[in-house]
Amino acid sequence: MPETMKLRSLAADVRAARSERGSSYTLRRQQLLGLKTMLLERGPEFEQALLTDLAKNPVESEITEIGFVLAEIDHALRHLRSWMRPRRSRPPMTLWPATARTVSDPLGAVLIISPWNYPLQLSLAPLVGALAAGNGVVLKPSEISPATSAAMALFIPQYLDAALVRVVEGGPSETTTLLDEQWDYIFYTGNETVARIISTAAARHLTPTTLELGGKSPTFVDGTANLAHVAKRLAWTKFVNAGQTCVAPDYVLVTPDAHDGLVAALESAVTDLFGTDPQASTDYGRIVSANHVSRLRAVMPRAGIAFGGQVDAKTKYIAPTAATGVKPSDPIMRDEIFGPILPILKVADSAEAIGFINSRPKPLALYVYSADRQVRRDFETQTSSGALDINVGLAHMSVPGLPFGGVGASGHGAYHGKRSFDTFSHAKAVLSKPLAPDTLSLIYPPYTAAKGRMARGLLRRLSR
Protein backbone atom coordinates (compact mmCIF):
# COMPACT_ATOMS: atom_id res chain seq x y z
CA MET A 1 0.00 0.00 0.00
CA PRO A 2 1.43 3.46 -0.90
CA GLU A 3 2.59 5.51 2.10
CA THR A 4 0.02 8.24 1.51
CA MET A 5 -2.76 5.64 1.51
CA LYS A 6 -1.51 4.33 4.85
CA LEU A 7 -1.55 7.85 6.30
CA ARG A 8 -5.05 8.42 4.98
CA SER A 9 -6.34 5.43 6.90
CA LEU A 10 -4.66 6.19 10.21
CA ALA A 11 -7.53 8.12 11.79
CA ALA A 12 -9.92 5.27 11.04
CA ASP A 13 -7.34 2.70 12.15
CA VAL A 14 -6.69 4.14 15.60
CA ARG A 15 -10.40 4.90 16.05
CA ALA A 16 -11.21 1.26 15.29
CA ALA A 17 -8.46 0.02 17.61
CA ARG A 18 -9.79 2.19 20.42
CA SER A 19 -13.31 0.92 19.84
CA GLU A 20 -12.13 -2.71 19.77
CA ARG A 21 -10.01 -2.49 22.90
CA GLY A 22 -12.38 -0.33 24.90
CA SER A 23 -11.27 2.34 27.36
CA SER A 24 -11.11 0.59 30.71
CA TYR A 25 -9.12 1.90 33.64
CA THR A 26 -6.81 -1.10 33.31
CA LEU A 27 -5.99 -0.41 29.66
CA ARG A 28 -5.37 3.28 30.26
CA ARG A 29 -3.12 2.51 33.21
CA GLN A 30 -1.19 -0.04 31.17
CA GLN A 31 -0.47 2.52 28.46
CA LEU A 32 0.68 5.14 30.96
CA LEU A 33 2.92 2.63 32.70
CA GLY A 34 4.34 1.60 29.33
CA LEU A 35 5.17 5.22 28.56
CA LYS A 36 6.83 5.59 31.96
CA THR A 37 8.88 2.42 31.48
CA MET A 38 10.01 3.65 28.07
CA LEU A 39 11.35 6.90 29.51
CA LEU A 40 13.09 5.14 32.39
CA GLU A 41 14.67 2.42 30.25
CA ARG A 42 15.43 4.49 27.15
CA GLY A 43 16.39 7.72 28.89
CA PRO A 44 20.02 7.58 27.69
CA GLU A 45 18.91 7.16 24.07
CA PHE A 46 16.53 10.11 24.33
CA GLU A 47 19.24 12.21 25.99
CA GLN A 48 21.57 11.43 23.10
CA ALA A 49 18.88 12.33 20.57
CA LEU A 50 18.28 15.68 22.26
CA LEU A 51 22.01 16.30 22.36
CA THR A 52 22.17 15.62 18.62
CA ASP A 53 19.21 17.84 17.75
CA LEU A 54 19.71 20.78 20.10
CA ALA A 55 23.03 20.21 21.94
CA LYS A 56 21.04 19.84 25.16
CA ASN A 57 23.04 18.85 28.17
CA PRO A 58 21.73 15.51 29.52
CA VAL A 59 20.88 17.15 32.86
CA GLU A 60 18.85 19.82 31.08
CA SER A 61 17.10 17.07 29.09
CA GLU A 62 16.28 15.27 32.32
CA ILE A 63 14.86 18.42 33.94
CA THR A 64 12.96 19.95 31.04
CA GLU A 65 12.00 16.91 28.96
CA ILE A 66 12.21 13.41 30.45
CA GLY A 67 11.61 14.30 34.09
CA PHE A 68 8.85 16.70 33.15
CA VAL A 69 6.90 13.99 31.33
CA LEU A 70 7.53 11.45 34.11
CA ALA A 71 5.97 13.88 36.58
CA GLU A 72 2.92 14.24 34.32
CA ILE A 73 2.59 10.44 34.08
CA ASP A 74 2.88 9.95 37.84
CA HIS A 75 0.26 12.64 38.47
CA ALA A 76 -2.11 11.01 35.99
CA LEU A 77 -1.58 7.55 37.49
CA ARG A 78 -2.32 8.86 41.00
CA HIS A 79 -5.56 10.53 39.96
CA LEU A 80 -6.78 8.49 36.99
CA ARG A 81 -9.43 6.51 38.85
CA SER A 82 -10.99 9.64 40.36
CA TRP A 83 -10.83 11.48 37.01
CA MET A 84 -12.75 8.65 35.35
CA ARG A 85 -15.41 8.52 38.05
CA PRO A 86 -18.79 9.98 36.93
CA ARG A 87 -19.67 13.29 38.56
CA ARG A 88 -23.16 13.38 39.98
CA SER A 89 -25.53 16.32 39.71
CA ARG A 90 -28.82 16.90 41.49
CA PRO A 91 -31.80 17.03 39.11
CA PRO A 92 -34.43 19.75 39.70
CA MET A 93 -37.50 18.78 41.69
CA THR A 94 -39.57 18.82 38.51
CA LEU A 95 -37.73 15.69 37.31
CA TRP A 96 -37.83 13.68 40.54
CA PRO A 97 -37.32 10.77 40.81
CA ALA A 98 -34.21 10.82 38.59
CA THR A 99 -30.43 10.63 38.66
CA ALA A 100 -28.01 12.80 36.71
CA ARG A 101 -24.29 12.41 36.13
CA THR A 102 -21.51 13.54 33.82
CA VAL A 103 -19.43 10.78 32.21
CA SER A 104 -16.01 11.46 30.65
CA ASP A 105 -15.94 9.68 27.29
CA PRO A 106 -12.86 9.26 25.07
CA LEU A 107 -13.06 11.47 22.00
CA GLY A 108 -11.79 8.69 19.71
CA ALA A 109 -8.95 9.38 17.26
CA VAL A 110 -6.58 12.19 18.30
CA LEU A 111 -3.84 13.81 16.20
CA ILE A 112 -0.96 15.40 18.14
CA ILE A 113 1.40 17.60 16.11
CA SER A 114 4.46 18.58 18.12
CA PRO A 115 7.32 21.08 17.63
CA TRP A 116 11.09 20.80 17.57
CA ASN A 117 12.20 22.97 20.49
CA TYR A 118 11.22 20.56 23.29
CA PRO A 119 10.58 17.64 20.96
CA LEU A 120 10.15 14.97 23.63
CA GLN A 121 8.23 16.92 26.26
CA LEU A 122 5.84 18.60 23.84
CA SER A 123 5.09 15.29 22.14
CA LEU A 124 4.65 13.10 25.20
CA ALA A 125 3.03 15.49 27.70
CA PRO A 126 -0.13 15.83 25.58
CA LEU A 127 0.09 12.09 24.84
CA VAL A 128 -0.24 11.45 28.58
CA GLY A 129 -3.57 13.26 28.62
CA ALA A 130 -4.82 11.55 25.47
CA LEU A 131 -3.98 8.09 26.84
CA ALA A 132 -5.41 8.86 30.28
CA ALA A 133 -8.65 9.85 28.55
CA GLY A 134 -8.73 6.53 26.66
CA ASN A 135 -8.09 7.68 23.08
CA GLY A 136 -6.28 6.28 20.08
CA VAL A 137 -3.48 8.63 19.05
CA VAL A 138 -1.39 9.49 16.02
CA LEU A 139 1.71 11.47 16.98
CA LYS A 140 3.45 13.63 14.36
CA PRO A 141 6.83 14.87 15.70
CA SER A 142 8.75 17.65 14.00
CA GLU A 143 11.14 16.79 11.20
CA ILE A 144 13.38 19.65 12.37
CA SER A 145 14.46 17.54 15.37
CA PRO A 146 15.02 14.30 13.44
CA ALA A 147 17.00 12.35 16.04
CA THR A 148 14.33 12.72 18.70
CA SER A 149 11.59 12.02 16.16
CA ALA A 150 13.35 8.81 15.11
CA ALA A 151 13.83 7.73 18.73
CA MET A 152 10.11 8.12 19.45
CA ALA A 153 9.18 6.28 16.27
CA LEU A 154 11.48 3.43 17.29
CA PHE A 155 10.59 3.05 20.96
CA ILE A 156 6.90 4.00 21.29
CA PRO A 157 5.66 0.87 19.42
CA GLN A 158 7.84 -1.26 21.69
CA TYR A 159 6.28 0.01 24.91
CA LEU A 160 2.73 1.04 23.96
CA ASP A 161 -0.07 -0.69 22.08
CA ALA A 162 1.10 -0.20 18.50
CA ALA A 163 -2.47 -0.19 17.20
CA LEU A 164 -3.58 2.51 19.62
CA VAL A 165 -0.57 4.82 19.30
CA ARG A 166 1.10 5.47 15.94
CA VAL A 167 4.08 7.71 15.21
CA VAL A 168 4.32 9.35 11.78
CA GLU A 169 7.63 10.89 10.79
CA GLY A 170 8.09 13.33 7.94
CA GLY A 171 7.59 16.94 7.00
CA PRO A 172 4.86 19.24 5.67
CA SER A 173 3.71 16.70 3.06
CA GLU A 174 2.93 14.07 5.68
CA THR A 175 1.29 16.64 7.95
CA THR A 176 -0.89 17.86 5.09
CA THR A 177 -2.01 14.31 4.32
CA LEU A 178 -2.87 13.70 7.97
CA LEU A 179 -4.86 16.94 8.14
CA ASP A 180 -7.03 15.78 5.25
CA GLU A 181 -8.41 13.05 7.50
CA GLN A 182 -11.33 13.42 9.90
CA TRP A 183 -10.03 13.43 13.45
CA ASP A 184 -11.98 13.68 16.66
CA TYR A 185 -9.44 16.13 18.08
CA ILE A 186 -6.27 17.90 16.91
CA PHE A 187 -3.66 19.13 19.38
CA TYR A 188 -1.01 21.41 17.89
CA THR A 189 2.01 23.12 19.45
CA GLY A 190 3.91 25.53 17.26
CA ASN A 191 3.64 28.87 15.51
CA GLU A 192 0.70 31.03 14.51
CA THR A 193 1.22 30.60 10.75
CA VAL A 194 0.89 26.81 10.84
CA ALA A 195 -1.92 27.12 13.41
CA ARG A 196 -4.02 28.95 10.83
CA ILE A 197 -3.48 26.11 8.36
CA ILE A 198 -4.46 23.55 10.98
CA SER A 199 -7.52 25.53 12.02
CA THR A 200 -8.66 25.73 8.39
CA ALA A 201 -8.20 21.98 7.90
CA ALA A 202 -9.97 21.20 11.17
CA ALA A 203 -12.89 23.46 10.26
CA ARG A 204 -13.67 21.33 7.20
CA HIS A 205 -14.64 18.48 9.54
CA LEU A 206 -15.74 20.65 12.50
CA THR A 207 -12.88 19.09 14.46
CA PRO A 208 -12.12 20.77 17.80
CA THR A 209 -8.53 21.85 18.41
CA THR A 210 -6.10 22.95 21.06
CA LEU A 211 -3.53 25.40 19.72
CA GLU A 212 -0.48 25.97 21.90
CA LEU A 213 1.29 28.87 20.25
CA GLY A 214 3.63 31.53 21.58
CA GLY A 215 4.19 35.22 21.14
CA LYS A 216 6.35 37.86 22.72
CA SER A 217 6.17 37.07 26.44
CA PRO A 218 7.15 40.22 28.37
CA THR A 219 9.03 40.64 31.63
CA PHE A 220 8.70 43.65 33.94
CA VAL A 221 11.37 44.58 36.49
CA ASP A 222 11.36 47.54 38.87
CA GLY A 223 13.77 48.91 41.44
CA THR A 224 12.09 47.24 44.40
CA ALA A 225 13.29 43.79 43.29
CA ASN A 226 16.58 42.18 44.32
CA LEU A 227 18.35 42.54 40.98
CA ALA A 228 20.94 39.82 41.58
CA HIS A 229 18.21 37.27 42.24
CA VAL A 230 16.11 38.57 39.35
CA ALA A 231 19.04 38.35 36.96
CA LYS A 232 19.84 34.72 37.78
CA ARG A 233 16.24 33.65 37.28
CA LEU A 234 15.78 35.79 34.20
CA ALA A 235 19.03 34.60 32.61
CA TRP A 236 18.16 30.95 33.09
CA THR A 237 14.59 31.26 31.81
CA LYS A 238 15.74 33.24 28.76
CA PHE A 239 18.83 31.25 27.79
CA VAL A 240 17.84 27.67 28.66
CA ASN A 241 17.60 25.70 25.41
CA ALA A 242 19.41 28.67 23.78
CA GLY A 243 16.26 30.75 24.11
CA GLN A 244 14.16 28.36 22.04
CA THR A 245 11.27 28.17 24.51
CA CYS A 246 7.70 29.23 23.77
CA VAL A 247 7.36 30.84 27.22
CA ALA A 248 10.85 32.35 27.32
CA PRO A 249 11.01 36.01 28.33
CA ASP A 250 10.98 37.70 24.93
CA TYR A 251 11.80 41.23 26.09
CA VAL A 252 12.24 43.17 29.35
CA LEU A 253 10.50 46.36 30.40
CA VAL A 254 12.54 47.90 33.21
CA THR A 255 12.19 51.10 35.21
CA PRO A 256 15.08 53.62 35.03
CA ASP A 257 16.15 53.02 38.63
CA ALA A 258 16.77 49.33 37.88
CA HIS A 259 18.03 49.47 34.29
CA ASP A 260 21.81 49.69 34.68
CA GLY A 261 21.90 47.39 37.67
CA LEU A 262 19.83 44.75 35.89
CA VAL A 263 22.02 44.78 32.78
CA ALA A 264 25.18 44.36 34.87
CA ALA A 265 23.59 41.63 36.98
CA LEU A 266 22.42 39.78 33.87
CA GLU A 267 25.92 39.72 32.42
CA SER A 268 27.24 38.39 35.71
CA ALA A 269 24.47 35.77 35.85
CA VAL A 270 25.30 34.52 32.34
CA THR A 271 28.91 34.08 33.41
CA ASP A 272 27.78 32.16 36.50
CA LEU A 273 25.60 29.88 34.36
CA PHE A 274 27.77 29.30 31.30
CA GLY A 275 31.25 30.63 32.11
CA THR A 276 33.16 33.40 30.41
CA ASP A 277 32.91 31.58 27.06
CA PRO A 278 29.43 30.08 26.65
CA GLN A 279 30.47 28.60 23.30
CA ALA A 280 32.81 26.28 25.17
CA SER A 281 30.19 25.33 27.76
CA THR A 282 28.49 21.95 27.53
CA ASP A 283 25.60 23.50 29.47
CA TYR A 284 24.61 25.90 26.68
CA GLY A 285 22.64 24.62 23.69
CA ARG A 286 22.67 25.44 20.00
CA ILE A 287 20.20 26.86 17.50
CA VAL A 288 18.27 24.06 15.84
CA SER A 289 19.12 24.83 12.21
CA ALA A 290 21.08 27.08 9.88
CA ASN A 291 17.83 28.74 8.77
CA HIS A 292 17.04 29.76 12.33
CA VAL A 293 20.58 31.10 12.80
CA SER A 294 20.05 33.28 9.71
CA ARG A 295 16.66 34.43 10.98
CA LEU A 296 18.08 35.44 14.35
CA ARG A 297 21.13 37.13 12.86
CA ALA A 298 18.82 39.23 10.69
CA VAL A 299 16.95 40.68 13.69
CA MET A 300 20.01 41.07 15.95
CA PRO A 301 20.25 44.77 16.91
CA ARG A 302 23.16 46.51 15.17
CA ALA A 303 23.80 48.77 18.15
CA GLY A 304 23.28 48.70 21.88
CA ILE A 305 24.61 45.18 22.50
CA ALA A 306 25.28 45.12 26.25
CA PHE A 307 26.91 41.70 26.14
CA GLY A 308 27.03 38.73 23.79
CA GLY A 309 26.19 39.20 20.12
CA GLN A 310 28.64 36.61 18.79
CA VAL A 311 27.38 34.30 16.04
CA ASP A 312 29.09 31.19 14.65
CA ALA A 313 26.87 29.92 11.86
CA LYS A 314 29.03 26.85 11.26
CA THR A 315 28.34 25.46 14.75
CA LYS A 316 24.85 27.08 14.98
CA TYR A 317 25.99 29.09 18.00
CA ILE A 318 24.53 32.42 19.07
CA ALA A 319 25.84 33.80 22.34
CA PRO A 320 23.54 34.77 25.21
CA THR A 321 22.87 38.36 24.22
CA ALA A 322 21.26 41.43 25.80
CA ALA A 323 20.54 44.63 23.88
CA THR A 324 19.69 48.03 25.36
CA GLY A 325 18.25 51.12 23.77
CA VAL A 326 15.81 49.00 21.77
CA LYS A 327 12.81 50.80 20.28
CA PRO A 328 9.33 49.23 19.93
CA SER A 329 9.58 49.68 16.16
CA ASP A 330 12.87 47.77 15.83
CA PRO A 331 12.78 44.48 13.87
CA ILE A 332 13.50 42.42 16.97
CA MET A 333 10.29 43.68 18.58
CA ARG A 334 7.99 42.58 15.73
CA ASP A 335 7.84 38.79 16.04
CA GLU A 336 8.62 36.23 18.69
CA ILE A 337 12.43 35.98 18.92
CA PHE A 338 12.71 32.29 19.81
CA GLY A 339 16.43 32.58 20.42
CA PRO A 340 19.01 33.87 22.93
CA ILE A 341 18.61 37.60 22.29
CA LEU A 342 17.03 39.70 25.05
CA PRO A 343 15.90 43.27 24.20
CA ILE A 344 15.72 45.60 27.22
CA LEU A 345 13.47 48.66 27.04
CA LYS A 346 13.06 51.41 29.61
CA VAL A 347 9.61 52.34 30.90
CA ALA A 348 8.77 55.07 33.39
CA ASP A 349 6.81 52.81 35.72
CA SER A 350 4.51 49.80 35.94
CA ALA A 351 1.59 51.76 34.48
CA GLU A 352 3.53 52.44 31.28
CA ALA A 353 4.60 48.80 31.13
CA ILE A 354 1.00 47.61 31.48
CA GLY A 355 -0.10 50.00 28.73
CA PHE A 356 2.68 48.76 26.45
CA ILE A 357 1.79 45.10 27.04
CA ASN A 358 -1.92 45.74 26.50
CA SER A 359 -1.23 47.47 23.18
CA ARG A 360 0.23 44.25 21.75
CA PRO A 361 -1.17 40.73 21.15
CA LYS A 362 -1.85 38.75 24.31
CA PRO A 363 1.24 36.77 25.31
CA LEU A 364 1.56 33.15 26.35
CA ALA A 365 3.28 34.17 29.58
CA LEU A 366 4.01 37.34 31.53
CA TYR A 367 6.69 37.71 34.20
CA VAL A 368 6.74 40.36 36.92
CA TYR A 369 9.68 40.96 39.26
CA SER A 370 8.71 43.41 41.96
CA ALA A 371 8.52 43.56 45.75
CA ASP A 372 5.61 46.00 45.50
CA ARG A 373 2.38 44.13 46.22
CA GLN A 374 0.22 46.70 44.45
CA VAL A 375 2.36 46.52 41.31
CA ARG A 376 1.98 42.75 41.26
CA ARG A 377 -1.75 43.06 41.81
CA ASP A 378 -2.06 45.60 38.97
CA PHE A 379 -0.43 43.20 36.51
CA GLU A 380 -2.74 40.41 37.65
CA THR A 381 -5.92 42.45 37.24
CA GLN A 382 -5.05 44.77 34.34
CA THR A 383 -3.33 42.46 31.83
CA SER A 384 -4.32 39.31 29.96
CA SER A 385 -1.88 36.46 29.30
CA GLY A 386 -1.84 32.69 29.21
CA ALA A 387 -0.06 32.68 32.57
CA LEU A 388 1.40 35.15 35.04
CA ASP A 389 4.53 34.30 37.05
CA ILE A 390 5.57 36.61 39.86
CA ASN A 391 9.25 36.77 40.83
CA VAL A 392 9.98 33.56 38.93
CA GLY A 393 9.93 32.33 35.34
CA LEU A 394 8.60 29.22 33.55
CA ALA A 395 7.64 27.69 36.91
CA HIS A 396 3.89 27.57 36.26
CA MET A 397 4.51 24.79 33.72
CA SER A 398 5.69 22.42 36.46
CA VAL A 399 2.49 22.61 38.55
CA PRO A 400 0.08 19.88 37.35
CA GLY A 401 -2.87 21.64 38.93
CA LEU A 402 -2.35 24.75 36.80
CA PRO A 403 -3.62 24.86 33.21
CA PHE A 404 -1.01 25.57 30.55
CA GLY A 405 -2.27 27.39 27.49
CA GLY A 406 -2.60 30.66 25.69
CA VAL A 407 -5.19 33.35 25.12
CA GLY A 408 -5.95 35.28 21.95
CA ALA A 409 -3.07 35.05 19.47
CA SER A 410 -1.01 32.94 21.89
CA GLY A 411 -3.43 30.04 21.48
CA HIS A 412 -6.56 28.47 22.87
CA GLY A 413 -7.24 25.46 25.02
CA ALA A 414 -5.07 24.20 27.88
CA TYR A 415 -3.53 21.05 29.26
CA HIS A 416 -1.37 19.53 32.06
CA GLY A 417 -2.76 17.46 34.91
CA LYS A 418 -6.54 17.12 35.09
CA ARG A 419 -6.91 19.73 32.33
CA SER A 420 -5.20 17.30 29.92
CA PHE A 421 -7.69 14.57 30.79
CA ASP A 422 -10.59 16.99 30.27
CA THR A 423 -9.14 18.30 26.99
CA PHE A 424 -9.13 14.82 25.45
CA SER A 425 -12.50 13.76 26.90
CA HIS A 426 -16.10 14.50 26.05
CA ALA A 427 -18.19 15.44 29.08
CA LYS A 428 -21.33 13.42 28.35
CA ALA A 429 -24.53 14.19 30.24
CA VAL A 430 -26.45 11.11 31.42
CA LEU A 431 -29.95 11.42 32.90
CA SER A 432 -31.94 8.42 34.08
CA LYS A 433 -35.59 8.49 35.13
CA PRO A 434 -37.93 5.56 35.81
CA LEU A 435 -41.01 5.20 33.61
CA ALA A 436 -43.21 5.00 36.67
CA PRO A 437 -44.44 7.02 38.40
CA ASP A 438 -44.86 9.34 35.42
CA THR A 439 -44.28 12.68 37.13
CA LEU A 440 -43.96 14.46 33.79
CA SER A 441 -47.68 14.50 33.14
CA LEU A 442 -47.79 18.20 34.03
CA ILE A 443 -45.81 19.10 30.88
CA TYR A 444 -47.94 17.06 28.46
CA PRO A 445 -50.75 18.64 26.44
CA PRO A 446 -53.58 19.40 26.62
CA TYR A 447 -52.55 22.50 28.60
CA THR A 448 -55.56 23.18 30.80
CA ALA A 449 -56.04 26.18 33.06
CA ALA A 450 -55.38 23.96 36.07
CA LYS A 451 -52.06 22.77 34.60
CA GLY A 452 -51.11 26.38 33.92
CA ARG A 453 -51.73 27.41 37.52
CA MET A 454 -49.80 24.41 38.82
CA ALA A 455 -46.85 25.03 36.46
CA ARG A 456 -46.61 28.72 37.28
CA GLY A 457 -46.85 28.09 41.00
CA LEU A 458 -44.27 25.28 41.00
CA LEU A 459 -41.76 27.10 38.81
CA ARG A 460 -42.01 30.29 40.84
CA ARG A 461 -41.40 28.41 44.08
CA LEU A 462 -38.34 26.69 42.58
CA SER A 463 -36.89 30.01 41.37
CA ARG A 464 -36.91 31.64 44.83
Which residues are annotated as catalytic?
Answer: 212, 246
Contact 136, 14 (CB under 8 A): yes
How far apart are the C-alpha atoms of 192 and 189, rounded to whole Å? 9
According to DSSP, the β-strands at 366-369 and 341-346 are unpaired
Burial pattern 48-77, b for ≥16 Cβ within 10 A else e, equals ebbbebbbbbbebbbebbbbbbbbbbebbb
Helix (H, G, I), strand (E, B), or coil: what is residue 412? strand
3-state helix, strand, coil in the chain (%, to 5): 50, 15, 35
Q: Where are the alpha helices (DSSP H) in 209-344?
A: 227-239, 256-274, 290-299
Contacts of 425 (CB under 8 A, 6+ apart): 104, 105, 106, 107, 133, 134
Contact 279, 316 (CB under 8 A): no
φ and ψ at 108, to 5 degrees? 130, -105
How far apart are the C-alpha atoms of 381 and 387, rounded to whole Å? 12
333 to 16, 167, 191, 343: CA distances (angstroms): 48, 37, 17, 8
Q: Where are the alpha helices (DSSP H) in 300-440?
A: 350-358, 373-382, 418-423
Contacts of 251 (CB under 8 A, 6+ apart): 216, 218, 219, 326, 333, 337, 342, 343, 344, 345
Q: What is the DSSP string of 387-399?
A: -EEESSSSGGGG-
The DSSP output letter for 65 is I
Q: Nearest-CA neighbor of 65 among 77, 56, 74?
A: 56
CA 197 vs. chain centroid, Å, equals 18
